[in-house]
Structure 1
Amino acid sequence: MIDDIEELVVCESFSADLEAVARSAKVVAAMGARLLGAEPEFLVIDGVTHLRWTFGTPRVLLLGHHDTVWPMGTLRTHPWSVVDGVARGPGVFDMKSGLVQLFHALSGLGSLDGVSVLVTGDEEVGSITSARLIEDAARGLDAAFVLEASADGGALKTQRKGTSMYEVLVHGRAAHAGLEPEKGVNAAVELAHQILAISGIGGTDGTTVTPTVLAGGSTTNTVPALAQVDVDVRVETVAEQQRVDALMHALSPRLDGARLEVRGGPNRPPLEAAMSASLFELAQSLSPVPLLSAHVGGASDGNFTAGVGCPTLDGLGGVGGGAHADHEHVIVAELPGRTKLLRDLVEAVLSA
């Protein structure tokens, strides 16, 4: 397993580099073919390469991604290593170790009939091209097991917030800031009003509505004609996601002559606790050690599977920490136990 993880990590796969993602897909495909005994389908959508294995009529989906947040060349500063039982390297925790666990878990099954595997190439940038694939793959199945990295202490992820993403553009009117500012409509001032209004939408039931990236203006002596803000939304329930979406699209300008344009909307539905409860209970019954569960703010492709009504258990991948950070790492000693747990879960669902 360590050798396989190394093979994936040293093949860098930055989401924004579609050629690198395509190269990574070939490495993942070869590994899967070796361990599963079957070649995958290559699904290329808008240049992004995804992989799918299907065995018989699917009842269980195993889901992961092979793209990472790390720019090409990161291996020069964050090289692959295994020291004192800790594996390090770009993407080792999120989530190349999880892919290796997936393949090794399935390789030990007597039969793969009823299993589907989907490995996507754009999870880290919002699953824009793979969302429909994921939903279609999960719809009507008995279970989806997501090989994203664990939460702290190896906890399984039984609840995730849903996400929405917006871009709010303010259209004003330019004018000379010294000679005739009164003839302008200041998009920056209007944006300030909107940011305060947007900030007030959250704060209930765990909902966060966060203005993030700001831009506006052209020169220091010109009344800004255009300004914009990106907005990150995290919600616990579908009802909250719909409430926020309605309020975002109902924003109205405060200054005469200003015009608003609101782009975006829900990206991933929430993974609500009810969608993971039965599978977590099953995992507890199969595990030789007590299992922890975690509720996290970050979203994954498991949000999509839960959103179409498929029972979903997330965080079954590597145990370690540092996702998207310089200290990203995986605890090697945890790999066999996590792999066996996944194998036992798949067997239990297929035999039910």
Structure 2
Amino acid sequence: MLADLEELVTCESYSADHEAVARSARTVAAQGARLLGAQPHTLVTGGITHVQWTFGAPRILLLGHHDTVWPTGSLATHPWSVDQGIARGPGVFDMKAGLVQMFHALTLLPSLEGVCILVTGDEETGSDTSRTLIEDLAQQCAATFVLEPSGPGGALKTSRKGVSIYDLTVHGRAAHSGLEPEKGVNAAIELAHQILALDVIAAHTGDGTTLTPTLMSAGSANNTVPARAELNIDVRVPTLAAQDTVDRLVRSLASHLPGASLEISGGPNRPPLEAAASAQLFTLADELATRLDYGPLRRLAVGGASDGNYTAGVGCPTLDGLGAVGDGAHADHEHVLTAHLPRRAQLLAHLIGAMR
């Protein structure tokens, strides 16, 4: 397993580098073909390469991604290494170790009938080219197991917040800030009003919903009343109802300053993975882990999203966080605890067997 993990980690796959993602897809395909005894179907959509295996009529979807957030060349500063049971390298935790666990879990099964595997190449950038494929496959299946990394201590991720992304543009009117500022409509001041209004929306919805102003800009020169201001808004919601409520309230924002106007684009990106979508699968996993002397398992609700949000969103029961045990996704201290690799693979094999 460590040799296979080294093979994947040392083939860099920065999401924005489509050539690197294509090379990584070939490496994933070759590794999977060697372990599973079957060649995959490679799909290129929008220049991004995904890899898929399907054995018979799909019943169980195994979902992962091979792209990473690490720019090409990161191996020079974050080299592959294994020392005292800790494996390091770009993307080792999120989520190349999960792919290795998945392939080795499948070698433990007497048959792969009913298993569908999808390894996408754009999860880290929002799954724009793979979302339709993910949802179509999930609608055919009775369960989805997501090989994203686990939570602290190996916890499975049984709920994830949904994500909405908005772009707010304020249109004002320019004027000389020294000679006649009163003739302008200051888009920056209007934007300040809107940021405060977003805080009111968050307080109104409650229940863990967050609206976070992120990127913002205004103005064109230091002696000109800003005629335009822009704001990106990151929204995280625990339920579909909250996502709908926030969408309605954001789209109902109104300008405060006379002469200012608002332009709002964007909307829901990923639906939430609600706890009900994973409840029965977690119970099954916990029972199996106990029998394997690997339990009891812990469950965790997280704010970050994954492709499991999409599978749960179309009604497919989904259990996430079945991948590696470690820490540091997207961070300098990213690492995997190697002792858990075979045990997590064994747990996944039993889960698949129990569902068929």
Structure 1 residue 328 and structure 2 residue 330: aligned?
A: no
Structure 1 residue 205 and structure 2 residue 207: aligned?
A: yes
Given that 1:41 and 1:51 are in contact with CA atoms closer than 8 Å, whether structure 2 keeps it comes out as: yes
* Aligned match of 1:265: 267
* Aligned match of 2:186: 186
Given that 1:60 and 1:116 are in contact with CA atoms closer than 8 Å, whether structure 2 keeps it comes out as: yes
Report the CA distance between 1:120 and its aligned residue.
0.6
Q: Any residues of structure 2 matched to 1:64-79 within 5 Å, and which?
A: 64-79=64-79
Matched AA of 1:190? E
SS at structure 1 position matched to 2:234: strand
Matched AA of 1:211? P
Q: Of the candidates 288, 301, 304, which is equivalent to residue 295 of structure 1?
A: 301
Given that 2:58 and 2:140 are in contact with CA atoms closer than 8 Å, whether structure 1 keeps it comes out as: no
* Aligned match of 2:149: 149
Structure 1 residue 45 and structure 2 residue 45: aligned?
A: yes
* Aligned match of 1:252: 254
* Aligned match of 2:277: 275
* Aligned match of 2:125: 125
* Aligned match of 2:219: 217
Structure 1 residue 31 and structure 2 residue 37: aligned?
A: no
Which ranges in structure 1 are unaligned for 5 or more consecutive residues?
none
Report the CA distance between 1:140 and its aligned residue.
3.7
What CA distance in whole angstroms lies between the structure 2 residues aligned with 1:115 and 1:95? 20
Q: Any residues of structure 2 matched to 1:306-325 within 5 Å, and which?
A: 306-325=312-331
Identity across matched positions, percent: 67
What CA distance in whole angstroms lies between the structure 1 residues aligned with 2:36 and 2:180? 72
Matched AA of 2:211? V
Which ranges in structure 2 are unaligned for 5 or more consecutive residues?
none
SS at structure 2 position matched to 1:240: helix
Q: Deviations along 1:78-121, whole A, 9 cap, x unmatched?
A: 11000010000010000000001111111221111101001111
Report the CA distance between 1:161 and its aligned residue.
0.7
Q: Tell me which stretches of 4 or more aligned residues in structure 1 moved more than 6 Å.
A: none
Report the CA distance between 1:18 and its aligned residue.
1.0
Report the CA distance between 1:291 and its aligned residue.
0.7
Report the CA distance between 1:176 and its aligned residue.
1.1
Aligned residues: 350
SS at structure 2 position matched to 1:337: helix
Matched AA of 1:118? L
Alignment TM-score, normalising by the size of structure 1: 0.98
Matched AA of 1:226? R
Given that 1:140 and 1:309 are in contact with CA atoms closer than 8 Å, whether structure 2 keeps it comes out as: no
Structure 1 residue 55 and structure 2 residue 55: aligned?
A: yes
Report the CA distance between 1:258 and its aligned residue.
1.2
What CA distance in whole angstroms lies between the structure 1 residues aligned with 2:60 and 2:234? 32
Structure 1 residue 346 and structure 2 residue 352: aligned?
A: yes
Given that 2:326 and 2:336 are in contact with CA atoms closer than 8 Å, whether structure 1 keeps it comes out as: yes
Given that 2:143 and 2:318 are in contact with CA atoms closer than 8 Å, whether structure 1 keeps it comes out as: yes
